[in-house]
Structure 1
Amino acid sequence: MLTHLAIRNIVLIEALDLEFRRGLGVLTGETGAGKSILLDALGLVLGNRADSGLVRAGEPKASVTATFEFANLPPAIAEALDDADIEIEPGEPLIVRRQLKADGGSKAFVNDQPVGVALLREFANALVELHGQHDDRGLVNPRGHRTLLDRYAGADSAAVSKAWRTWQDARARLEAAEAEIEQARADQDLLLAHLAELTALEPQAGEEARLDATRADMRKGERLAGDLEDLRQVWDGSDSPLAAMRVAARKLDRIGEEHPLLAEALASLDRAVIEAGEAEAKLQAAAEALVHDPAALDAAESRLFDLRALARKHDCQVDDLPETMRSMRAKLDAIEAGDAEIDALEEAAKEAAVAYRNAAEKLHADRLAAAERLDAAVAHELVPLKLDAARFRTQVELLDEDRWGAHGMDAVEFLIATNPGADFAPLGKIASGGELSRFILALKVALAEQGGAATVIFDEIDRGVGGAVASAIGERLARLASDGQLLAVTHSPQVAARGGTHYLIAKSSEGTVTRTSVGLLDAEGRQEEIARMLSGAEVTPEARAQADRLLEGV
């Protein structure tokens, strides 16, 4: 609930700190004293549009800070804070602050962490529920009627939402598979042609590098053929240098023992023969590797050209062609197996559709039953609120299948008829301001056990009524506030007398400076304010006595 509100430099409010309690709090004051300023200030921390005109004249900026405390943080707020990476320890208050500059622009903070205004709007409805003369949100907005009815019914709308997601996922998988197979069938002839072309060539992984190296070697062989032939002739034959060295080595071997130097010469010559033999072998191997075969070179170049052409055709690397072949075969296999897969997916989608329909039909029945109970409960509240000629109806309308969703198959809207014989119409379209507020109060009483915002505010719900009707309004406001927090801006002494706390809004002027202040009244102050509300400008003893009777009557 709202425990503290600090306002700085908002219109006529220079500095204001208010403490709030549980139960029913009433705010009273003369017309024009500034009650709307309080609501505008609170609206800022709830994410309303930042209007620089709210900044007090002559001040560079304004701010509003609202503190809320909860036994358990409402799920909607907890989820929003978690998404924004803002941590609040159990028992820690939620402090929302909004700064507004006179030259435009604003900043928002939650527990001193900067946030976007969108976050404030996201959990505003869980913090404060405001019902005013021209309010188009809350109970007036039909977008929330279905949720309110489901809460009242205690219906398992989550099961319908889960069944809807399951059905939609199954449909999406079926549609994706059908589209894939349809596309594959359309491409089947082309796939077969491409696969035949690839199969005929039968590309191998790493083949491009090997062909490129072979082609390069053969081109080198063509260029080096003359030099290699000259070298071959140098080493071949009985009169080659290597043959002469071998002859010398044999002769030296016979006389090597005759002198140590001859033995050393033989060892050196043997090493030279071995090195020369190795060189001869390597030259032979190089000649074989660099052999120039025009037909083989042409074949290598032709295959390399074909492989690269296919790679360009399929927009891939040459080494990826084997994988491209496998992918094409898999697509062709999928076409053959596609019918069985489609049958299985169709069956899954049908089962999901049946499960959703069953859950949605049960929810529909629960809503119809709850609508009757809610209509009776609201009708019971209308007579004391001087709306005995009016009728209330919860309309539960089956939607066409193309409008079904996670919410089920119904549209729900609260309708009223204010006069006998009149047609039912949306809640916010045919009721006057006072009637609308009383309808909302009747609904709130009927829905009292279904929860809602932490703080509920009624702005001049008693406008245009008095006497017994005002007393009935006050009694119902007090009942609603018995286990929560409700604030009522009122001009009715009967409503004001019901308040557990009473705040007086007053405006004062000093020269050209005008200020609005708000004070918490004690028992004597409450008597005087209620007496003023009863008598007008001059408070009479009779008015004070009547005020005492009102206060004693509650």
Structure 2
Amino acid sequence: MLRSLEIRDLLIIDRLDLAFQPGLNVLTGETGAGKSILLDALGFVLGWRGRAELVRAGADQGEVTAVFDLSPDHTARAVLSDAGIVAEDELILRRINTSDGRKTAWVNDRRASGEVLRALSDTLVELHGQHDDRGLLNPRGHRQILDSFAGVDGALVRAAWTGLSAARRARTAAQKALAAAKVEEEFLRHAVAELDKLNPEPGEEAALDARRRAMQGAEKIRTDISRAHNAMSDQGAEGALVDALRWLEGAADRAEGRLDAPLAALARVLVELDEAQTGVANCLSALDFNPHELEALEERLFAIRGLARKHNVQADDLGGYADDLRARLAVIDGGAGNLAALDLALADAETTYHRHAVQLTETRTRAAKRLDKAMASELAPLKMERAVFSTHITPTDAGPDGSDEVAFTVATNPGAPAGPLNKIASGGELSRFLLALKVCLAGNTPGLTMIFDEIDRGVGGATADAVGRRLAALATTAQVLVVTHSPQVAALGAHHWRVEKKVAKGMTTSIVTPLGPDARIEEIARMLAGDTITPAARDAARALLG
């Protein structure tokens, strides 16, 4: 319930504090007095998209604060929870609009976005007017209205539709993948066979290249090392040194010791030469390789590099590329089986969706009959006992809300053809259809504040009185705010405010005054008589007030 509305420096409002009450609240006043500004202010704090320029001329900023009472089970609590805001029994919305157009909002002293405000608005306030295109005049909303009356949330159908859509996407994707794979099947099989035959390993290309370089280097230096080895052999240096040693030993006895040192040196040289020979021999052994091995190594290295160029991948990535190709082949090889499984899943999803959609259609069909009957009961007190309201359900393309199209038609006079509301009903009749529908739906939206903006336009006399009485009946289960020019409706309000303009020091402002019993008589008399209030008008006002 909307408990209070505080407005500061908005349009032509300087300062305004309103305390609304449960039941039927009526706001009256001359045309242009500012009644619509109150709705603009409420819409602003609720995040509705409205006028761009709201700040009162000369003010730095405009501000609106709305306070709502929340019952323990109010649906606004779920919105607050989703937004990370602690829900309390009192909900305070505050929004500021600066003169340069910046808007800032708070919910219970927590900064909040316009999206959060609008989400809260859907649970707090419902605005209706004679030209309301969100309900009766918009056929796309008829199904939602019927579901609200039936108490249907459609969660099972939406979940089944989500599953069905996913199954369809999976089946389509698999079919496309299979078709694409089959186009390149010959290439895939040849490429996989070629890669499997070569079976390259990660890092193998670098290892082969290093081994090849080593072999090529060995071939170049082995000749010189072999020559050096021969030079040190018994056919070369070793043989010469041995001969020299033998000759010197034969002469040593007659040299009186002069050859002892050279002989010792030669012995050491022979030892060192032997070590050198051994090392060179070992080197030759290490450099020894089979020329066929180099040929085979180069053949494999060039094959790996050739495949890498062919498939435009790095040599080390050939193994992973082969895995990808095998996976694409697996799609082909297992395609029929996969499609069969996906077909079963799709059929399952279609069966589930159809079952829930049929159940929803049956629920809507039963609810449509109850709604038509309830509307007939509500239209009679509104002086439309001859009008016929009908809810038609026809098949339509399946979707997340089922496979039903819902349309409301009316026939306002006996024998007249039925048709869409916006083509058959006049303005006053449309207002009454809307009011009757809201009375039928009132029990499904607990805690909602309903605002009717001049919904009684186009009706008068006994019909206006009937409209007022239905509004009063609606207000027994919900808070109702009515902006009206009808004295019959105003007289039935439990709480009455007058909206008027004041001009002071060249500044026009709009003020709202709560009316007591005597002031209500004067206001309703003004609504009956116009500018000149006569005693007869006052008497008529007293009669209306009962």
| Alignment TM-score, normalising by the size of structure 1 | 0.83
What is aligned with 1:49?
49
- Residue aligned with 2:399, SS: coil
What are structure 1's unaligned runs of at least 5 residues? 248-268
The answer on whether the counterparts of 1:220 and 1:290 sit within 8 Å (CA) in structure 2 is no
- Name the CA shift for 1:423/1:327 in 2 (closer, same or farther; >3 Å): same
Query: What are the equivalent positions in structure 2 for 1:89-104 lying under 5 Å apart?
Result: 89-91=86-88, 93-104=90-101
Letter in 1 for 2:519: G
The alignment covers a number of residue pairs equal to: 521
Partner of residue 165 from structure 1, selected from 156, 162, 166: 162
Letter in 1 for 2:3: T
**Rounded Cα–Cα distance in structure 2 between residues aligned with 1:50 and 1:470:** 30
The answer on whether the counterparts of 1:52 and 1:101 sit within 8 Å (CA) in structure 2 is no
The Cα offsets for residues 274-317 of structure 1, whole Å up to 9 and x where unpaired, read as 9x96x988766665555576654454344223213323433433
Give the structure with higher Rg (CA): 2
The answer on whether the counterparts of 2:162 and 2:400 sit within 8 Å (CA) in structure 1 is yes
- Name the CA shift for 1:330/1:53 in 2 (closer, same or farther; >3 Å): closer
What is aligned with 1:341?
338
**Rounded Cα–Cα distance in structure 1 between residues aligned with 2:226 and 2:89:** 95
**Rounded Cα–Cα distance in structure 1 between residues aligned with 2:427 and 2:77:** 31
- Name the CA shift for 1:297/1:440 in 2 (closer, same or farther; >3 Å): same
Range that drifts further, 5-14 or 155-164: 155-164
- Residue aligned with 2:146, SS: helix
Determine whether 1:313 maps to 2:310. Answer: yes
The answer on whether the counterparts of 1:503 and 1:518 sit within 8 Å (CA) in structure 2 is yes
- Name the CA shift for 1:240/1:41 in 2 (closer, same or farther; >3 Å): farther
- Residue aligned with 2:475, SS: helix
The answer on whether the counterparts of 2:43 and 2:50 sit within 8 Å (CA) in structure 1 is no
What is aligned with 1:425?
419
Range that drifts further, 420-429 or 491-500: 420-429
The answer on whether the counterparts of 2:427 and 2:458 sit within 8 Å (CA) in structure 1 is no
Query: What are the equivalent positions in structure 2 for 1:274-313 lying under 5 Å apart?
Result: 295-313=292-310
What is aligned with 1:519?
513
- Residue aligned with 2:474, SS: helix
The answer on whether the counterparts of 2:357 and 2:403 sit within 8 Å (CA) in structure 1 is yes
What is aligned with 1:488?
482
**Rounded Cα–Cα distance in structure 1 between residues aligned with 2:171 and 2:132:** 46
Range that drifts further, 342-351 or 116-125: 116-125
The Cα offsets for residues 62-93 of structure 1, whole Å up to 9 and x where unpaired, read as 233333332247557735862xxx32223154
**Rounded Cα–Cα distance in structure 2 between residues aligned with 1:7 and 1:15:** 6
What is aligned with 2:353?
356
What is aligned with 1:16?
16
What are structure 2's unaligned runs of at least 5 residues? 246-266
Cα deviation, residue 457, structure 1: 0.3
What is aligned with 1:214?
211
What is aligned with 1:392?
389
- Name the CA shift for 1:52/1:299 in 2 (closer, same or farther; >3 Å): same
Letter in 2 for 1:525: A
Instruction: State percent identity of aligned pairs.
Output: 47
Cα deviation, residue 441, structure 1: 0.3
**Rounded Cα–Cα distance in structure 1 between residues aligned with 2:171 and 2:317:** 31
**Rounded Cα–Cα distance in structure 2 between residues aligned with 1:93 and 1:353:** 46
Determine whether 1:412 maps to 2:401. Answer: no
**Rounded Cα–Cα distance in structure 1 between residues aligned with 2:431 and 2:172:** 50
What is aligned with 1:68?
68
Cα deviation, residue 370, structure 1: 1.4
- Residue aligned with 1:404, SS: strand
Cα deviation, residue 324, structure 1: 3.0
Letter in 2 for 1:512: G
The Cα offsets for residues 220-239 of structure 1, whole Å up to 9 and x where unpaired, read as 43454466446656876696
The Cα offsets for residues 192-244 of structure 1, whole Å up to 9 and x where unpaired, read as 11112212322123312321221232244345446644665687669669x99
- Name the CA shift for 1:190/1:25 in 2 (closer, same or farther; >3 Å): same
The answer on whether the counterparts of 1:125 and 1:453 sit within 8 Å (CA) in structure 2 is no
The Cα offsets for residues 142-182 of structure 1, whole Å up to 9 and x where unpaired, read as 33321221232244622222222222222222222222222
Determine whether 1:376 maps to 2:391. Answer: no
Cα deviation, residue 136, structure 1: 1.6
Cα deviation, residue 517, structure 1: 0.8
The answer on whether the counterparts of 1:136 and 1:428 sit within 8 Å (CA) in structure 2 is no
**Rounded Cα–Cα distance in structure 2 between residues aligned with 1:15 and 1:281:** 112
Letter in 2 for 1:394: T
Letter in 1 for 2:437: L
- Name the CA shift for 1:323/1:543 in 2 (closer, same or farther; >3 Å): same
- Name the CA shift for 1:321/1:73 in 2 (closer, same or farther; >3 Å): farther
**Rounded Cα–Cα distance in structure 1 between residues aligned with 2:61 and 2:224:** 93
**Rounded Cα–Cα distance in structure 1 between residues aligned with 2:304 and 2:114:** 60
The Cα offsets for residues 241-287 of structure 1, whole Å up to 9 and x where unpaired, read as 9x99xx9xxxxxxxxxxxxxxxxxxxxx99xx99x96x988766665
Cα deviation, residue 491, structure 1: 2.0
What is aligned with 2:143?
146
The answer on whether the counterparts of 2:443 and 2:477 sit within 8 Å (CA) in structure 1 is no
- Residue aligned with 2:208, SS: helix
The answer on whether the counterparts of 1:218 and 1:293 sit within 8 Å (CA) in structure 2 is no
- Name the CA shift for 1:301/1:129 in 2 (closer, same or farther; >3 Å): same
**Rounded Cα–Cα distance in structure 1 between residues aligned with 2:430 and 2:341:** 54
- Residue aligned with 1:447, SS: helix
**Rounded Cα–Cα distance in structure 1 between residues aligned with 2:451 and 2:415:** 33
Partner of residue 179 from structure 2, selected from 169, 174, 182: 182
**Rounded Cα–Cα distance in structure 1 between residues aligned with 2:368 and 2:416:** 20
The answer on whether the counterparts of 1:129 and 1:453 sit within 8 Å (CA) in structure 2 is no
- Name the CA shift for 1:126/1:154 in 2 (closer, same or farther; >3 Å): closer
- Residue aligned with 1:384, SS: helix
- Name the CA shift for 1:207/1:495 in 2 (closer, same or farther; >3 Å): same
- Residue aligned with 2:207, SS: helix
The answer on whether the counterparts of 2:418 and 2:424 sit within 8 Å (CA) in structure 1 is no
What is aligned with 1:435?
429
- Residue aligned with 1:482, SS: coil
The answer on whether the counterparts of 1:225 and 1:292 sit within 8 Å (CA) in structure 2 is no
- Name the CA shift for 1:287/1:115 in 2 (closer, same or farther; >3 Å): farther
Cα deviation, residue 398, structure 1: 0.8
Partner of residue 448 from structure 2, selected from 440, 446, 454: 454
Cα deviation, residue 387, structure 1: 2.5
**Rounded Cα–Cα distance in structure 2 between residues aligned with 1:429 and 1:207:** 81
**Rounded Cα–Cα distance in structure 2 between residues aligned with 1:182 and 1:80:** 50
- Residue aligned with 1:32, SS: coil
- Residue aligned with 2:381, SS: coil
What is aligned with 1:530?
524
Cα deviation, residue 539, structure 1: 4.2
**Rounded Cα–Cα distance in structure 2 between residues aligned with 1:442 and 1:397:** 24
| Alignment TM-score, normalising by the size of structure 2 | 0.84
Cα deviation, residue 191, structure 1: 0.9
Cα deviation, residue 495, structure 1: 2.0
